[in-house]
Amino acid sequence: MEVLMRRLPGITWLKVDIGDADSSLAKEYKITQVPYLQIYGPEGQLLADGDEALRWIDDRLVGKPP
């Protein structure tokens, strides 16, 4: 995550330790595996999660616009 923070400036990153995929927090946010990634826009809307979130990051790293 620290590498991504340096490579993608201007993005706010938040890491939350939910314990494991069976926790109440994981169930509330429909987290199916740990680690799990969700990306939210500036207005709080969910932009991508899971594998789609990884593709979103890959696209930003190669310079594709959102």
pLDDT tens by residue, 16-61: 888 887 889 888 888 888 888 888 888 888 889 889 999 998 998 8
Q: Report which secondary-structure segment, H or E, holds 52.
A: helix 51-61
What average pLDDT does the segment 6-13 reach? 82
Residues 6+ apart with CB under 8 A from 47: 39, 40, 41, 53, 56, 66
User: Confidence band (pLDDT; 50, 70, 90) for 66?
Assistant: low
